[in-house]
């Protein structure tokens, strides 16, 4: 199964090291392949360096593409993390 969603970066500092680490650690629990698309760049979301290289600022919109058997659970967890600003405000 292949799912695609568009999300917006809500963190004041953009997608910096802390939220990138949350993404990479979160994806260790899932088997699906996950890619982020920003402008013309497509990266493997399991790579913290690739995420950081996108240099995503606040309000940047990115496309999440998830493909695999647990795609629904994976994309749901990622969208939730983006919506909750990776729990940085807690």
List active site positions. 16
Handedness of CA 48, 54, 59, 63 (dihedral sign): negative
């Amino acid at each position: 199964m292949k799912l695609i969603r568009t999300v917006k970066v809500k963190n004041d500092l953009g997608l910096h090291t802390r939220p990138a680490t949350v993404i990479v650690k979160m994806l260790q629990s899932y088997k699906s392949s996950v890619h982020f698309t920003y402008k013309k760049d497509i990266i493997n979301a399991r790579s913290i360096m690739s995420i950081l290289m996108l240099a995503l600022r606040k309000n940047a919109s990115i496309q999440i593409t998830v493909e695999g058997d647990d795609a629904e659970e994976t994309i749901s967890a990622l969208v939730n993390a983006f919506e909750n600003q990776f729990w940085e405000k807690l």
